[in-house]
């Protein structure tokens, strides 16, 4: 699988949620870079990765009470 960019709308409400996302995403060596646009009303999570699916990421986040839906 080639490099890809996955974009999610999230339920992030607090800056500490971003730290939690960081610790969760650190478990995936396939992720090379990520960020959350905390200023955007949808709290957009952008992930640069390879060999991982949006479903794997959203399930990992959901299991930790952060909801993320992939944007087209």
> Domains in the chain, please, with CATH?
2-68 (3.30.70.100)
Instruction: For Cα atoms 13, 67, 41, give the angle at the middle one, nearest 5 degrees.
Output: 45
* Residue 5 CB neighbour total at 10 angstroms: 9
Confidence band, pLDDT 50/70/90 cuts, at residue 15? confident
This prediction has a pTM of 0.92
Residues 6+ apart with CB under 8 A from 64: 20, 24
Q: What is the pLDDT of residues 28-48, one digit of tens each?
A: 999 999 999 999 999 999 999
């Amino acid at each position: 699988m080639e490099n890809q960019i996955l974009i999610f709308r999230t339920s992030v409400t607090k800056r500490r949620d971003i730290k939690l996302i960081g610790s969760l995403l650190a478990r995936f060596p396939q992720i090379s870079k990520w960020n959350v646009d905390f200023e955007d009303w949808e709290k957009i999570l952008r992930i640069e990765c390879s060999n991982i699916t949006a479903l794997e990421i959203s399930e990992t986040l959901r299991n930790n009470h952060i909801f993320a839906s992939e944007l087209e």
